């Protein structure tokens, strides 16, 4: 059966992003199943069932800011209920990142769609929602 094997986010600062992704992904039920921090590359994997998200930092690279253009628009992370959306909004408010839309209903998507959007420390856009 076809599936998405994994998604890797290139990041500029491993320690800063690891703290952020630990709060977000572990907070919605992912676990961390792999971490390595070598001289040239640092990696961490977050897994939930068949879903696998990695963060990767090439330590010697000249990093550029994320540009929302051709490529990734955003990654939506679905949670179990409205209470969890609100809980994660409170968590992310404490992480010193940009929140681009506060939690609200989106009846144009469905009668129960409720979400907010934000950026990771490198500006990669995310959404936490219920359908």
| CATH code of the domain in which 83 resides | 3.10.180.10
Structural domain including 34 reads: 1-60
Mean pLDDT over all residues of the chain? 95
Locate 116 and state its tokens. Answer: 């907010």
Q: What is the value of pTM for the model shown?
A: 0.93
Do 117 and 84 lie in one domain? The reply is: yes
What pLDDT, on a 0 to 100 scale, did the predictor assign at position 130?
97
Do 82 and 117 lie in one domain? The reply is: yes
Residue 68 lies in a domain: no
Who contacts 54 (Cβ-Cβ below 8 Å, separation ≥6)? 6, 7, 8, 9, 43, 44, 45, 46
Task: Report the number of distinct structural domains present in the chain.
Answer: 2
Q: Is the pLDDT of residue 119 over 90?
A: yes
Residue 66 lies in a domain: no
Q: Is the pLDDT of residue 1 over 80?
A: no
- Give the percent of the chain with pLDDT over 90: 85
């Amino acid at each position: 059966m076809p599936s998405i094997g994994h998604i890797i986010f290139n990041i500029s600062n491993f320690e800063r992003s690891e703290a952020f992704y630990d709060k977000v992904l572990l907070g919605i039920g992912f676990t961390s199943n792999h971490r390595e921090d070598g001289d040239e590359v640092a990696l961490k994997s977050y897994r939930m069932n068949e879903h696998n998200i990695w963060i990767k930092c090439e330590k010697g690279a000249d990093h550029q800011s994320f540009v929302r253009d051709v490529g990734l628009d955003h990654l939506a992370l679905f949670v179990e209920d409205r209470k969890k959306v609100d809980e994660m909004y409170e968590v992310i408010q404490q992480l010193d990142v940009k929140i681009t839309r506060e939690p609200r209903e989106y009846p144009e998507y469905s009668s129960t769609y409720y979400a907010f959007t934000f950026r990771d420390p490198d500006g990669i856009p995310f959404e936490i929602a219920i359908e």
